[in-house]
Amino acid sequence: MKYYIIAGEASGDLHGSNLIKELYKQDATADIRFWGGDLMQTAGGTLVSHYKERAFMGFFEVLKNIFKVVGFIKLCKKDIAVFQPDVLIFIDNSGFNLRVAKWAKAAGFRTHYYISPQVWASRAGRVKDIKRDIDKLFVILPFEKDFYKKHSYEVAFVGHPLIDAIADRAQVSENDFRKEHALSTKKIIALLPGSRKQEITEMLSVMLSLIADFSEYQFVIAGAPSQDFSFYKQIIGEREVAFINNKTYDLLSVSYAALVASGTATLETALFKVPQVVCYKGGYISYQIAKRIITLKFISLVNLILDKEVVKELIQEDFNKQNLKVALTNILEVSNRENIFLNYFDLEKQLGGKGASKNVASQIVAALK
């Protein structure tokens, strides 16, 4: 069978790579072509376009690059038409994927979507587009099934793929990790400022401003695979901070606390049982637009899934040195950490067990057969 997968950003690349591995296990004749990243390329198949080329953050940034975006969509449609896949599999990345899905469904292609667009967060009217253009939707958050049921659309809850990604990773000992990266014996505070240039630029300098106030800790930046160290160096300057590229899971496994950009990383940090402060700061125009259309009480997946504030969220103007210092101090206090851990364990239970990628692959292959 021929599979065409479209993913964007580092998280989509991760989940796409695990899906590709499962498709190859369950379909020995699988011919896979995809838009994704390095992890998907390592898993197998043919890479058409790397997600780094399409890493635009926020409404204003997308608008500035609209001609590039339109060009990529045209290229994608043309490539699909030539490849003639048996199924299209969209992974997250709704701004791009829903546009391609509309064309693909009208052109007669089978369309499956893995990891729902966040229509439950804003613009719920897009559900009608999903119902029209997507043959099967696989969701990974427990509340999504009920959300779509209210809109008369049956979806499949398959569990969260991060459970697999974390459980199946190669283990590293703390001593070996510290030795390999020349880290001190101090407790580690991990800095996860995101993967796109705009968000790193907005957030990393504020995170780094706390170093002098917490000199008894070792601050370590988790570098994104999509960015070179030279970019981070412009922001770091002469500050005393360690930098480790493309080893976020290893870093979280030995961290005592973390400052994390809103997104998938908040959930990853929770699954590693690391107390965290969630940070978000976007461009002014993009934020003003988002504030008017997003209907959620929280921005972090941890708080959304548990439907209460488990981790502190600092958003836009609230994300400043003073507030961040107070929030970090709170999660370093031993008396506050036990309750965070208890909530994290509850979170993991709600996400289901291992096997998300396997579940999705099984259902797709079975549908094709």
pLDDT at residue number 292:
44
More confident residue, 68 or 319: 319
Q: Is the pLDDT of residue 336 over 90?
A: yes
CA–CA dist 130, 281 (Å, integer): 29
CA–CA dist 210, 185 (Å, integer): 19
Query: In residues, how long is the chain?
Result: 369
4: CB partners within 8 A, 6+ apart: 32, 33, 34, 80, 83, 85, 87, 88, 89
Place of tokens 């103007």: 317
More confident residue, 253 or 54: 253
Q: Is the pLDDT of residue 64 over 90?
A: no
| pLDDT, tens only, 9-63 | 888 898 999 999 999 999 999 999 999 999 999 999 999 999 877 665 555 455 5
Q: What is the mean pLDDT of residues 350-354?
A: 87
Q: Is the pLDDT of residue 226 over 90?
A: no
Q: Is the pLDDT of residue 127 over 60?
A: yes
295 CB-side CA count, 13 A: 8
| pLDDT, tens only, 295-323 | 567 889 999 999 999 999 999 889 999 99
Place of tokens 């696989």: 138
pLDDT at residue number 287:
47
pLDDT at residue number 225:
82
Beta bridge partners of 112: 89, 136
**Alpha carbon distances (Å) from 116 to 155, 180, 242, 297, 300:** 10, 38, 35, 19, 16
Beta bridge partners of 222: 244
| pLDDT, tens only, 147-164 | 999 999 999 999 999 998
Q: Is the pLDDT of residue 344 over 50?
A: yes
Answer yes or no: are the C-beta atoms of 121 and 292 closer than 8 Å. Answer: no
Place of tokens 């030539």: 82
CA–CA dist 319, 330 (Å, integer): 16
CA–CA dist 358, 364 (Å, integer): 10
DSSP structure class, residue 112:
E
Q: Which CATH architecture has domain 2-160+352-368?
A: 3-Layer(aba) Sandwich (3.40)
Q: What is the pTM of this model?
A: 0.79
> Where do you find CATH 3.40.50.2000 in the chain?
2-160+352-368, 173-350
Sign of torsion over alpha carbons 222, 255, 93, 202: negative
Minimum mean pLDDT among 105-109, 194-198, 360-364: which range?
194-198
pLDDT at residue number 65:
59
pLDDT at residue number 168:
83
More confident residue, 64 or 157: 157
DSSP 41-110: HHHSSEEEEEGGGG---SHHHHHHTHHHHHHHHHHHHHHHHHH--SEEEEES-HHHHHHHHHHHHHTT--
Q: Is the pLDDT of residue 204 over 50?
A: yes
What dotted CATH number matches 173-350?
3.40.50.2000
